[in-house]
Structure formats: structure tokens, C-alpha cells
Structure 1
Amino acid sequence: MSQADTLISVRDLRLSFGPKVIQQGVSFDLKRGSIFAIMGGSGCGKSTLLKSMIGLLRPTAGQILVGQEDYWAQSGLRRRDINLHFGVLFQSAALWSSMTVGENVALPMEMLTSLPADDIRRLVDLKLGFVGMEQAIDLMPSEISGGMRKRAGLARAIALNPDILFLDEPSAGLDPITSARLDDLILTLRDGLGATIVIVSHELPSLFAIADDGIFLDAITHTPIAHGSPRDLRDHCTIPEVVAFMKREADLPPTDQTKG
């Protein structure tokens, strides 16, 4: 893989809360156009790693290189500029309950661009149309289903045409049919918009369907113990903890209940 194909390089990252180590020795490259899965059981640090990658949690040690820049060595203003290339779908979509769906999608454009209101409205229509939500533009989040909220959250995440999308448990709480439709939408975002995607999930059907690379975090050793696509790890990995997770075996070792 050439340097030009690498959007983010994580190098020997250590994440901790005080003396409590969440993960250490985390290293991987995020390839342009890939769907990269952060995998592992509950409490292994999946969401903690994602938070560090998007600027919400400073690592204890190590580097996150965005292109050639050490993200956490930059000023707050420069990190803000880098973040303009990121789109994030938080758990449960995290829509503002006091705003309509359209107002939620418009918010990043209103806050971070100088676009006139008419152009923002046109782009909101475009983004909602892309995720099949144009009919919900004037509805409140409380008036739509969980799957529709996830799609609205995706529309907001792509509002600024990001290079990289970070999705935190996008299928959590959804029924299998809605989850499969969301998987199809994520693939469409990758193929149609050229976005690179990082997904935190423990939903195996989704991981097998869409992810082409990934890392497996272990809650006991607090280290990554496998790297590869979910399908390859399922079919070829011999590490017991990974095998148990990928095949849903009952003897999966107990996890350390940390954040993740």
C-alpha cells in the first residue's frame, strides 16, 4: 500500500483513564476507500479508540497521523480544520431533539461554512435524498423510527462531504431488516461518495457484509490481537478469543468491564 493510499496511520497508541489502561500498542493504517472495522467484545475500548481518532480523547501515548500530520501534536485550530474532513455518526444518532431533521442536517453547514440559506436548504434536500429521508425534512426526531434517525444522522455526517466517515455502532438496536438496509446505505456512501469509513460494531452480520479490513481489540490483555477483514478472521484466525467472538461461541473469555 502506497503512502498516498493511507489516510490515517495509528502508531503505538496507548489509551487510558488515569492508571486504568484501556488499550495499548494499537497500530494500523486506514486505506483510502476501505471500510475499516474496530471489533471486539464489550468493554474492550472500541468507542474509546474512535473518540481518540476524532479528537474527543487525547491518547496517553503514540500517534494518530492524518496524512503526514501528527493530529494530537497540532494546535486546537489546526485540529478543527482537520476535523472538517471527518463526518461522525454517534451512537443513537445523537440528533438535537429540539430541531427538525432538516435543521439537524443543516447545522454543520450553518456553523462551519458561509453558504447562503438557499444553498444550505438545497444541500439539505440533496443529503436527505441520498439516504432516502427527504420526506422527513420537517419532522422532529421523536416523530421518526430508530432506523430513520440513523439515516438522518448519516445525512448530517455527510453534510460537509467528508473524506472519512466514523460510525459508532450504527446498527445497534435495529431489527435485522433495517440493519441490512443500513448496511446497503453504508456501501452506497462508500461507492457513491468515495468516502472511507471506520465502523465500531459488534454486529457480526453487518461486519461480514461490509467491512474489508479491521482490528480486533482484546479486553483482557488491553492490546490488539488480530488484524484483517472480519470474513478472513472468521475463516482463518486461530486465536481462541477471536474465534469465539466471530463464531459466537459460548466460551468467550470474560471481558474487563471498561469503556468501549
Structure 2
Amino acid sequence: MAPQTPDTDSRETLMSLQDVTLAFGPKVIQKGISFDIKRGSIFAVMGGSGCGKSTVLKSMIGLLKPAAGHYLVDGEDYWTSDPAHRQTVSRRFGVLFQSAALWSSLTVGENVALPMQMLTKMDAATIRNQVELKLGLVGMLHAIDQYPSEVSGGMKKRAGLARAMALDPDILFFDEPSAGLDPITSARLDDLILNLRDGLGATIVIVSHELPSLFKIADDGIFLDAKTKTPIAHGAPSWLHDHCDEPQVHAFMHRERETESGRTD
């Protein structure tokens, strides 16, 4: 793996992957994955198409058991713990899927309410208050009674984010949150993510290949290589941009500059 960012972060480690291998049957997606995520950080899982970014996220939210290695949350192995403990830990997770994954037959407000209705004993009035609070945080309260088909792509992402926060999780996972958004809407979503991290103290894991977003919000990250099926660099995107000499990482981190200037660095 390429040199890492100097380890000056004194924050407590919240999650760790230790020599994890992810596979579908005999097909290995990534192997030798090891990294720590600090509490209150925004950690990016980076790499080109097909490298396994979303598979890493899927494993971290409890949908894919590693073929080997350990996944620790607050020092306890998620996958070797009993089902009741895994369920308790999973309740700390909020997930924003790439497509927002809203139920088309439910209003925006009903989509946000669904986790509370299914997983808590809150009464209807309390749930309604919480829905209004979560939608207010993402600037979507005005759309509480609209259906997903009646709002824009950016608004769908914000509604999905409100649903991800429905159970007040302290760990948020975002899969390509800026995918399909125009630059202005994407920048606003980045600001919202930063505000949520700062305001709620949440730890955020983000899968993305959008350089402007990565440079703006991520303070640490891992770079996955599709060819070797291993991580090849670890550090903040801005640090990797300036200091990593790994050819694939350099090409990935500098592609915006190359496109805009019409030349290579």
C-alpha cells in the first residue's frame, strides 16, 4: 500500500476492518482490506468502477459477511457476535443508497416515518414530529406530503438522507450520494453532509468517485484497485492528490485537472 497520511488524528477509533476478504462464492472482490475509521470523521471508499467500493459498504452495513478477516465496531467483532448484538449495532447505522431507494407508493414523509413505524414503539404523533424534524434538517419539510415522482433528483437524495437519520444513528453510510446530480445540487448536498457531521457528531462512510465532493468533505479514505483486488493507498483525498505516486491513484486524483486543462500533469 502507498504511504499513508501522517497519523496525527487523536480521535477514538470507532470502526476497523482487519485483513478483510470480500467474495461472492469463489469470486474474490477485494482482499487484504485494513483500515480504521475515527469517530466523527468522514471516511471515503474510493476507486474506479468495478473495484468493489459498494461491496465494502454492503459488508459494513451488515449485508455481506466477509470471507475472511474481522470487522470491529467499538472494539467488538460484528460478524462473530450473536444476532441480538448485531441487531443492536445495526440500529446505529443509517444508510443512503445510491438511488435514494424511496418507496414510490409512499409520500416523502411516509418514507421517513417507515423505519420508526417498523422498529420503534413511538406513537403516531411522536413519529410525525420526528419526521418533520428530520425533513427540516435537510430542507425538505415543504415536500412532506409529496410523492417521490413529484420531486427532483436532488430532493430525492435529501429525502433519502432524512430517512437514513430516522432512528438517530451515530454512523451514516452514503453510496454515491452525488451520482446523477448537477454540480450546484451536488455542492449543496456536500454542505448538508458536513453540517450533519458537525451538528450531530455523526461518523460518515461515503462511497464516491466524485472528486470535488471527495476533496471537500472527506478527511480520510482508502483507495481500492480493481486489477490487484487490494487497497493500494490510504489517506485523505487531498493528501493522496498531492503526495501519492501510485500511478492509478495519481490518474484518478488528477483527472479533473487533466480534463479541464486539456493536458496531463
Shift of 1:3: 9.4
Counterparts in 2 of 1:11-160, with a 5 A limit?
Answer: 11-160=18-167
Measure how far apart 1:78 and its partner are.
Answer: 2.0
What is the aligned-residue identity percentage?
A: 73
Q: Distance in 2 between matches of 1:216 and 1:56?
A: 21
Name the counterpart of 2:223. Answer: 216
Say whether the 8 Å CA contact 1:244–1:250 is kept in structure 2: no
Which one-letter code corresponds to 2:242 in the other structure? D
Q: Per the alignment, in what secondary structure is the counterpart of residue 12 of structure 1?
A: strand
What residue is the counterpart of 2:263 in the other structure?
Answer: none
Secondary structure of the residue aligned to 2:255 is coil
CA RMSD of aligned residues (A): 1.6
| Cα-to-partner distance string for 1:89-130 (whole Å, 9 max, x where unaligned) | 011100111110000001111111111110110010000000
Give the partner amino acid of 1:85: R
Q: 1:3 to 1:86 in 2, by over 3 A?
A: farther
Judged with a 3 Å threshold, the aligned counterparts in structure 2 of structure 1 residues 4 and 245 are, in CA distance, closer, same or farther, namely: closer
Aligned amino acid, residue 66 of structure 2: P
* SS of the residue 2:79 aligns to: helix
Q: Which residue of 1 aligns with 2:197?
A: 190
Unaligned runs of 5+ in 1: 252-260
> Are the structure 2 counterparts of residues 221 and 164 from structure 1 closer, same or farther at C-alpha, using a change threshold of 3 Å?
same
Distance 1:223 1:249 in 2: 24
Alignment of 1:156-171 (within 5 A): 156-171=163-178
Q: What's the counterpart of residue 257 of structure 1?
A: none
The amino acid of 1:208's aligned partner reads F
CA contact (8 A) 2:11 2:38 kept: no
Task: Show structure 2 runs of 5+ residues with no match.
Answer: 1-7, 259-265
Give the length in aligned residue pairs: 251
3-state SS of 2:187 partner: helix
Q: Which moved more, 1:76-85 or 1:157-166?
A: 76-85
For 1:61 and 1:3, the matched residues in 2 are separated by: 29
Q: TM-score, normalization: structure 2?
A: 0.92
Corresponding letter in the other structure for 2:90: N
Distance 2:163 2:190 in 1: 17
Q: Which amino acid aligns with 1:222?
A: K
Which of 173, 177, 187 aligns to 2:180? It is 173
TM superposition score normalised by structure 1: 0.94
Tell whether the 8 Å contact from 2:223 to 2:249 is kept in structure 1 after alignment. yes
Query: Which deviates the most, 223-232 or 106-115?
Result: 106-115
Cα distance, 1:210–1:249 mapped onto 2, change above 3 Å? closer
Superposition deviation, residue 4 in structure 1:
7.3
